[in-house]
Amino acid sequence: MTEFVKYAVSEGIATLTFDSPHNRNALSRQLVTELYERLDRAEADDQVKVVVIGAEGRVFCSGADLSEAAGGSMEEGARGLVDLQRRIVAFPKPVVTRLFGAVRAGGIGIVAASDIAIASDDATFALTEVKLALAPAAISLTVIPRMTSRSAALTFLTGETFSGAEAAEHGLVTKAVPAEELDDAVAAVCAALVTGAPQGLRETKALLARDLVERIDSRGDDLAALSGRLFGSEAAKEAMLAFLNRKKK
């Protein structure tokens, strides 16, 4: 079976790379399962101090795999996305996302759950759920606390595309840099992180993540149920089918 999440370790940094071009790195069952496995591997490796999540190609993540979503109930999938965000937020080592190209819908939940997010300034982001008769319910657990309330309202309600530079202004990413400087910027942050003592990194991250973990634990079930209900609605099924048909043309 072809791997959808590559894994490599160098100088205390574990790099997890999405590589599922056939569906634009969508959050398919296989990709999510492999992401969990790679995170478990990085946690168990005492030589790893930092995890970087990135992607091959021009798409970081296109969100939920709609070809899977159209085939049945999505409450279980939404619950999985809630759990994945919690895993990243509560992960005992710093998680950095490297963002280049398109970042969409559920993929933005991974960005918001990470500790540090660095984007190229011409990366593109969009919370497109509203256009498919949905709401960004599950990922709102992490996205809303990262953004200003005005920025969240603008991006959630319009579903329009915004740049990496704008994502930094909104608070969604830590900073945006020119594309040619992205690798150097990620490397510089990781070089600083690996100087931390494991206990210091672990306990400081737990301190920073406490409120976010509590938010996920208290609201996750309700928002997963909301997501499942919306995905199962006739309006969403029609919108997703129309979307998939447009992609085939």
Q: What is the pLDDT of residue 247?
A: 67
Q: How many CB atoms lie within 10 A of CB 73?
A: 12
Q: How far apart are CA 248 and CA 221, in angstroms?
A: 34
Q: Is residue 186 part of a domain?
A: no
CA distance 53 to 18: 8
143 lies in a domain? yes
Q: List the domain range (segments joined by +) for residue 29.
A: 5-180
Across the strands, what pairs with 13? 10, 50
Whether 207 is covered by a domain: the verdict is no
pTM above 0.75, yes or no: yes
The answer to whether residue 209 is domain-embedded is no
Inter-residue contact 223 to 137 (CB < 8 Å) = yes
Q: How far apart are CA 50 and CA 198, in angstroms?
A: 10
**Region for residue 24 given its phi and psi (left: phi exceeds 0; alpha: psi -120 to 50; beta: otherwise):** left
pLDDT in tens, the chain (249 residues): 799 999 999 999 999 999 999 999 999 989 999 999 999 999 999 999 999 999 999 999 998 887 775 555 578 888 989 999 999 999 999 999 999 999 998 899 999 999 999 999 999 999 999 999 999 999 999 999 999 999 999 999 999 999 999 999 999 999 999 999 999 999 999 999 999 999 999 999 999 999 999 999 999 999 999 998 998 899 988 987 887 777 666
* pLDDT given at position 72: 52
Element (H, E) at 158: helix 149-158
Residue tagged 């690798």 (tokens) = 183
Beta strand 5-10 pairing with 13-18: antiparallel
Residue 176 inside a domain? The answer is yes
- Number of domains composing the chain: 1
Q: What is the pLDDT of residue 242?
A: 87
Does a structural domain hold residue 192? no
The CATH code of the domain that includes 67 is 3.90.226.10
Q: Which two tokens stand for residue 62?
A: 């296109």
- 65: β partners: none
- Tokens 């509203």 belong to 130
